[in-house]
Amino acid sequence: MNTERRSLMILGAAALVSVLLAAIVLIMRAEQGRSHFAATEFLPGFAANVKNATNIHVAAHDNEFDVAFKDGKWGLSGHGNYPADFDQVRHTLIGLAALQSLSPKTSRADWLHYVNLDTPPKGNGTAFTVKDAGGQTLATVITGTTEQLGDPNGTIGLFVRRPNENQTYLARSVSTFSGDFLSWVDTSVVNLGAARIQQVVVTPPRGKGFTISRAKDSDLKFALVNPPKTGNPNQQILDAIAYAVSSFSLVDVQPSAGMDFANASHAVGKGFDGLLIAVDIIPRGRELWAKLTASAAPGASADALKDANGINAKVAGWAYKMPDEKGKALIADLDTIMTPPPSQASDGPPPGMMGMPPGMTMPPGMGTP
């Protein structure tokens, strides 16, 4: 074997040894850098005690409320124990019980806001505290940003921490958690469907009352009965009035016992089947609150009477803060209705699709603090 051949073999062997040594070093470094943190329950023992939960305190940046189990049902204790959305309660409790820590993350207090884990209400996190009937804390956690784990089973990554610690964790979660009050309550109070309302009689806080109506349920637009001799009614507002009655919803709720509806304005919707929905509306500062009463007109169908009883069972004793666009629609007066809408840009959204129908303002005295 010549010298060149021998030199090539020696160099090749040396190169192979170098590659092997490099591979060993990389493997060792990888093992050193690999986290040895085992996935564990983030809330140890809560899964076994979740059945004892009777109170959930929710605190977010812009609201804080309690959901409590009382008299055999879950309700919003700061809102007269108004029924809570049981699906939200169930998903939250199960989700908290199933939280699994995957790996520790930052423990720097000045980095918490980057993953939405600053302490509320000043911070951007959402805190949940679960207690039993004796006031014993069963679980407490601040939840923050989510991220995808690529789990085919649908679990997500969730940044969490304990309120008394800065150490954060990436956890595996089976659900998302909401600190929004409206997600904990059924916001749909009355949902009759667009085709059911035949007419609405409105007694606004100022001026003469008026009626809007349509001849048959297939008519898409409502008309002003006995309109003024000059001008054209604002069609967007007419349709918004009917929609506000047929799809009545809330943004807050309280017992009606502490509110004075003696001087309320009124809107009474009548269905083609004889169902009647009366909405009494009062201002509270810049907010509009309403209470509802359902009944059946003479000759109404059996379904109308049944629906009226069901609605009354749900709304009796409650007052509802209305969404601005629906509340303002139900206190619109003739002057407002006869104000033509501004022209729409050719590339803009369809009329009435961006909140309050154009041309509508709060009547004097209805929005004064």
Note the pLDDT tens digit of each residue in 111-161.
999 999 999 999 999 999 999 999 999 999 999 999 999 988 889 999 999
Q: Give pLDDT tens digits for 239-252.
A: 999 999 999 999 99
What is the C-alpha separation between 258 and 253, in angstroms, rounded? 12
pLDDT of residue 368 exceeding 80, the answer is no
What is the C-alpha separation between 188 and 179, in angstroms, rounded? 19
Residue 195 neighbours by CB distance under 10 Å: 15
Residue 48 neighbours by CB distance under 10 Å: 11
pLDDT of residue 33 exceeding 70, the answer is no
Cα 3 to Cα 6, 9, 330: the distances in Å are 5, 10, 102
Which segments within the chain are labelled E, that is strand?
Answer: 40-41, 53-59, 64-70, 73-76, 82-83, 100-104, 126-132, 137-148, 156-161, 168-173, 188-191, 197-203, 210-213, 223-224, 247-249, 252-255, 265-271, 275-284, 287-296, 318-321
pLDDT for 10: 46
Q: Which of 245, 299, 311, 241 is nearest to 274 (CA)?
A: 299
Q: How many percent of the chain have pLDDT more than 90? A: 77
What is the C-alpha separation between 149 and 158, in angstroms, rounded? 9
Q: Give pLDDT tens digits for 75-123.
A: 999 999 999 999 999 999 999 999 999 999 999 999 999 999 999 999 9
pLDDT for 193: 84
pLDDT for 342: 75
Q: Which of 62, 80, 290, 75 is nearest to 184 (CA)?
A: 75
pLDDT of residue 22 exceeding 70, the answer is no
247-249 and 223-224 beta bridge pairing: unpaired
Beta bridge partners of 343: none
pLDDT for 15: 38
pLDDT for 132: 97
Band of pLDDT at residue 336, cut at 50, 70 and 90: very high
The 8 Å CB, 24+ separation contacts for 146-155 are 146/173, 146/176
The DSSP annotation for 72-130 comes to TEEEEGGGTTEEB-HHHHHHHHHHHHH-EEEEE----GGGGGGGT-SPTTTSS-EEEEE
Cα 325 to Cα 63, 236, 332: the distances in Å are 22, 12, 11
pLDDT for 224: 97
pLDDT for 25: 45
Least confidently predicted of 14-23, 141-150, 196-205: 14-23
Residues in the chain: 369
Q: Give pLDDT tens digits for 274-333.
A: 999 999 999 999 999 999 999 999 999 999 999 999 999 999 999 999 999 999 999 999
Band of pLDDT at residue 39, cut at 50, 70 and 90: confident
pLDDT of residue 34 exceeding 50, the answer is no
Q: Average pLDDT, whole number, for the chain?
A: 86
Band of pLDDT at residue 19, cut at 50, 70 and 90: very low
Structure tokens at 93: 């409790």
pLDDT for 177: 95
275-284 and 265-271 beta bridge pairing: antiparallel
Q: What is the mean pLDDT of residues 259-263?
A: 95
Could you tell me which residue, 185 or 20, shows the higher pLDDT?
185
Q: Give pLDDT tens digits for 339-358.
A: 988 764 444 444 443 344 44
Q: Which of 107, 99, 100 is nearest to 168 (CA)?
A: 107
pLDDT for 153: 87
